[in-house]
């Protein structure tokens, strides 16, 4: 397909600039992309196939009715497709209120791609047990589901289906498809719409261990978002020197600039055992003077630093 210049965005107005310090390109939301002489159909990838929570999040995210939603085989492949330019955006699960962050997403964003978070949305998650027609859910001996859903339904599986063997799949829809193939002894856990798509019956709804179950999804693209909102969030990942007080020194920077930190999480650094990188979310946009000054200082005091994006914030409270 023909390449799209920054002047093709939003009817030809120049909306992109490159930040000289952080090295990130900024742009207006991709749903305004247009080709010269016609509308551009935005390609949005999600963890497929049809019937996943990720598909529902992608459907909620799009504002351009002509956007093309493309189901992918894994989260990794979805993000790599954006990196290769085969997709414009990926809408992926980032964090769950019960299970925490999706670690594979954190690792890929830190090490494997040069992408940015441009938006977020929060989706209430209701886990559904699906079975084949004519089966009794109490009698199933196999359950197919994604690891995140399995974690959210751990108590249900242990107390209500102790006899069932758990099989983890790349997506909940893949699990529903496998349960359909395996017959009346098999069940699946996932989004209710998967039951209709794969010809299954809804046996039980809301089987997650806590009804207050939400997943934060993020839209990820090659370029960082330039648009700002009344409330914004900035995400970064970094590592520090392996010595006492090095992390505290970084956290003190945000305190000094009176910037609220809404998340901190560590992941192995893929190096020596006991070495970690840290993911942090702070309130504010990197174009805010205080945020920019604080991040400038953070970058100078870290051994590894990566800007993951500034984007409109969705409050969960």
Comparing 223 with 24, the larger pLDDT belongs to 223
Is residue 235 a contact partner of residue 298, using CB atoms and an 8 Å limit? no
> Mind listing the pLDDT tens digit for each residue in 123-148?
999 999 999 999 999 999 999 999 99
Is residue 119 a contact partner of residue 92, using CB atoms and an 8 Å limit? no
What pLDDT is recorded for position 65? 61
What pLDDT is recorded for position 23? 40
What pLDDT is recorded for position 40? 73
Global pTM value: 0.81
Mean pLDDT of 270-296: 93
What pLDDT is recorded for position 28? 39
Domains and CATH numbers, the chain: 1-125+212-227 (3.40.190.10), 128-204 (3.40.190.10), 228-312 (3.30.70.260)
Residue 154 has pLDDT above 50, yes or no: yes
> Mind listing the pLDDT tens digit for each residue in 59-118?
988 865 678 999 999 999 999 999 999 999 999 999 998 889 999 999 999 999 999 999
What pLDDT is recorded for position 13? 31
What pLDDT is recorded for position 228? 67
> Mind listing the pLDDT tens digit for each residue in 16-62?
333 333 343 333 343 333 333 356 788 999 998 899 999 999 998 88
Mean pLDDT of 254-272: 93
What pLDDT is recorded for position 67? 86
Residue 1 has pLDDT above 60, yes or no: no
What is the residue-averaged pLDDT of the chain?
A: 86
């Amino acid at each position: 397909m023909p390449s799209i210049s920054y002047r093709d965005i939003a009817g030809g107005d120049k909306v992109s600039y490159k930040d000289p310090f952080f090295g990130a390109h900024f742009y207006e939301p991709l749903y305004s992309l247009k080709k010269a002489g016609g509308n551009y159909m935005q390609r949005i990838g999600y963890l497929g196939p049809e019937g996943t929570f990720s598909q529902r999040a992608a459907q909620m995210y799009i504002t351009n009715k002509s956007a093309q939603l493309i189901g992918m085989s894994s989260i990794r492949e979805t993000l790599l497709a954006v990196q290769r330019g085969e997709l414009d955006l990926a809408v992926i699960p980032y964090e769950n209120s019960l299970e925490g962050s999706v670690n594979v997403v954190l690792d890929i964003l830190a090490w494997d791609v040069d992408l940015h978070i441009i938006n977020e949305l929060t989706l209430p998650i209701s886990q559904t047990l699906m079975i084949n027609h004519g089966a009794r859910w109490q009698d199933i001996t196999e359950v197919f589901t994604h690891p995140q859903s399995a974690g959210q339904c751990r108590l249900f599986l242990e107390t209500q289906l102790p006899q069932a063997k758990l099989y983890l799949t790349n997506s909940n829809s893949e699990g529903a498809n496998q349960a359909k193939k395996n017959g009346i002894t098999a069940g699946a856990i996932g989004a209710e719409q998967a039951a209709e798509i794969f010809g299954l019956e809804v046996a039980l709804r809301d089987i997650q261990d806590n009804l207050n179950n939400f997943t934060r999804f993020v839209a990820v693209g090659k370029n960082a978002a330039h648009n700002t909102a009344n409330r914004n969030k900035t995400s970064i990942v970094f590592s520090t020197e392996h010595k006492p007080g090095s992390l505290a020194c970084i956290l003190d920077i945000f305190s000094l600039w009176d910037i609220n930190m809404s998340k901190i999480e560590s992941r192995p650094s893929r190096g020596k055992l006991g070495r970690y990188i840290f993911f942090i979310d702070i309130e504010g946009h990197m174009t805010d003077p205080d945020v920019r000054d604080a991040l400038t200082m953070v970058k100078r005091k870290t051994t590894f630093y990566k800007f993951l994006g500034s984007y409109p914030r969705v409050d969960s409270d």
